[in-house]
Amino acid sequence: MRAKTEIRRQAILDAAAEVFQETGFERATMAAICERLGYSKATLYNYFASKEELFSAVVFEATEAEFQSTLEALDASFTDITLALEKFGRGLLTLLYSPQVQAMRRLIVSEASRSELGQKCYELGPVRNEAATAVFLQQAMDAGHLRQADAHIAALHLRGLLEAEWLDRFLFQTLGPVADAQINDTVQRAVAAFLAAYGPMPQ
């Protein structure tokens, strides 16, 4: 029974993601999602109490697996800070600029000012990312791989540098598919700039 419940919940999330991406959050309706699934409204509301709750679940579903994979790149046992940061950067940019996550981010941005969705999605993604990155950077600082600084500010600077080359094009929807080679080149430049600011002080 539990397996059947999970299969049905996943079907709801998949259908909802399609509807949200096709129509936007504002115009999407629970009725339209039910119609696509062939489920009754009672069944849908048994899993999700509101459209907002369903949207938050769709966002979480779209990002969680890759987000966890990205966090695994923050390995405290590293011996080369450059390679560690580049591994993290590749994971983060591959996640953020995948077509699926780009579509979700645009939906979130378009709805952020009209409801609490912006805050909820911000907490699901950037807040968790910043906290985990700050812990990793503090460990690197304590080990002498980086100079001592505010780790949370450093985490924001790292993310800003990683996204600097693409963020405006993403926001204005002029960014096409991003190739692995582009990600590698961007990450190398961003990490070099980060280390120029936060690398260990000369002895």
Domain boundaries, the chain: 1-49, 56-198
Q: How confident is the model at residue 101 (pLDDT cuts 50, 70, 90)?
A: confident
Say yes or no to pLDDT of 1 above 60: no
User: Taking all residues of the chain, what is their mean pLDDT, rounded to a whole number?
Assistant: 88
Tokens 């959050």 belong to which residue?
25
What does the pLDDT look like over 110-145, one tens digit per residue? 777 766 777 877 887 888 889 999 999 999 999 999
Fold of 56-198: Tetracycline Repressor; domain 2 (1.10.357)
Q: What is the DSSP letter of 75?
A: -
Please tell me the predicted confidence (pLDDT) of residue 2: 65
Q: What is the DSSP letter of 200?
A: P
pTM: 0.82
Fold of 1-49: Arc Repressor Mutant, subunit A (1.10.10)
C-alpha to C-alpha distances, 195 to 15, 81, 147, 201, nearest whole angstrom? 43, 9, 9, 11
